[in-house]
A and B are shown apart, each in its own frame.
Chain A
């Protein structure tokens, strides 16, 4: 199997476009996942009976194959980017919800009591005490969800989207390995870069953790 380097040279523009589109799909899904899982996690954390229920639902959703989720969404949103993003979001929910709940659980009870004793209102305690302290665990979930989404975007190639995944279909149909190799390498690179970027974001957001590290 030889790699046709001139093909890569001729298609740098296409590769760049696909990479951007790939990243866009994955990041939209993670963002949407965070927006949905954050309030749900707060509810699951505060209302014990709902906790098992919410985590259970997200676990069941996770067992549905990604291609099946995309296909099941076809009657609703058709062969569009929306289908890709919704499908990926469903997958991010399991990791994000579980980690956010665990993060909120890990906040010491004494810290919350201290906030209460100082007269801090519950909502303000949540925003300025609990969430910042839960951030490391939440960010660990965001990192996993991001890497997973980046790898899963390519599955959406079966429904006509898929970013870099289109290179796999293209290479397969023409019996031409170069685009496939380029697609695999770029997907992994994208995942590594995104993961490193999130580590940097976490470093900036949690200055109090730096001295310990």
Chain B
């Protein structure tokens, strides 16, 4: 056990391991690229949907059930399925990652919108604000903290799951996990796993700090 951790330490810190096209630096960049792009696409789909459902109050049933459907969907199966249907490209990975992230974004956006005080919305309308003005100038700013939480949650899940890209022969930090498993090289597997976990935790801390900084004037 001790030997293993010593090897893991030297694997993670050796200069050679960090450079080159199979190096940690390159794999890390790939991993971040997959994760950020997938979360961005998911946000482009999930945010308008959540705002619309929250603003109109229509489709609440969809918003609630989407979350539990999203949790039930087996990501590995989805990647393999799209892969077999669509052939060798990054598409299956992105489809699976986006499908994973959209429910978290929609439900949190919706939750943020419903948490906005009805009296505040009425007051805005009473002052003669139009529907879209109420949405963008009143509801959206007030719902922002919960919306951010949803985006954070989605990004963390996506970072953790982007490991899967390596399963269908692409890069990212999952490369070490799957290559290590194939070569029965436990140090490499553990190295990859530790790196993914560290990236997820660091991003989470960064985003929650940013969130706290942005909303430092708020009490709630």
Check if A and B associate: yes
A residues sitting closer than 8 Å to B (CB atoms) are 1, 60, 62-69, 71-72, 74-75, 144, 147-148, 150-151, 154-155, 157-159, 164-165, 167-168, 171-172, 175-177, 180-181, 183-184, 187-188, 191-192, 195
Check A74–B189 contact: CB distance below 8 A: yes
CB closest residue in chain B, given A76: B1
B34 to chain A, nearest CB (A): 13
**Bound Cα distance A154, B72 (Å):** 11
**Bound Cα distance A137, B137 (Å):** 34
Q: Which residues of B contact A155 (CB under 8 A)?
A: 75-76
Which of B39-47, B80-88, B121-129, B140-148 lines the interface with chain A? B80-88
Check A147–B156 contact: CB distance below 8 A: no
**Bound Cα distance A151, B68 (Å):** 11
Is B114 positioned at the interface, with any CB of A under 8 Å from its CB? no
Q: Which of A148, A168, A187 has the most CB of B within 10 A?
A: A168
Check A68–B194 contact: CB distance below 8 A: yes
Check A165–B76 contact: CB distance below 8 A: yes
Residues A64 and B74 in contact in the complex (CB < 8 Å), given A71-B177, A72-B190:
no
Interface of A is mostly: helix
CB closest residue in chain B, given A194: B72
Q: Which of B69, B189, B192 has the most CB of A within 10 A?
A: B189
Is B77 positioned at the interface, with any CB of A under 8 Å from its CB? yes
Is B109 positioned at the interface, with any CB of A under 8 Å from its CB? no
Q: Which residues of B1-51 are within 8 A (CB) of A?
A: 1, 4
B113 to chain A, nearest CB (A): 21
**Bound Cα distance A184, B79 (Å):** 11
9 closest A-B pairs by CB:
A65-B160, A68-B193, A191-B72, A184-B77, A64-B197, A63-B200, A154-B74, A71-B193, A177-B84
B186 to chain A, nearest CB (A): 7
Check A64–B1 contact: CB distance below 8 A: no
**Bound Cα distance A60, B4 (Å):** 24
**Bound Cα distance A148, B74 (Å):** 9
Number of interface residues of B (CB under 8 A): 40
Given contacts A68-B192, A187-B72, 17 further A-B contacts (CB under 8 A): A63-B160, A65-B193, A65-B197, A68-B196, A71-B189, A72-B193, A75-B1, A75-B190, A154-B77, A155-B75, A171-B80, A180-B81, A180-B84, A181-B81, A184-B77, A188-B72, A188-B74
Residues A65 and B159 in contact in the complex (CB < 8 Å), given A1-B85, A72-B193:
yes
Check B74–A183 contact: CB distance below 8 A: yes
Check B80–A67 contact: CB distance below 8 A: no
Check A65–B74 contact: CB distance below 8 A: no
Check A158–B181 contact: CB distance below 8 A: yes
Residue from B83, B156, B163 in contact with A67 in the complex, judged by beta carbons closer than 8 Å: B163
Is B149 positioned at the interface, with any CB of A under 8 Å from its CB? no
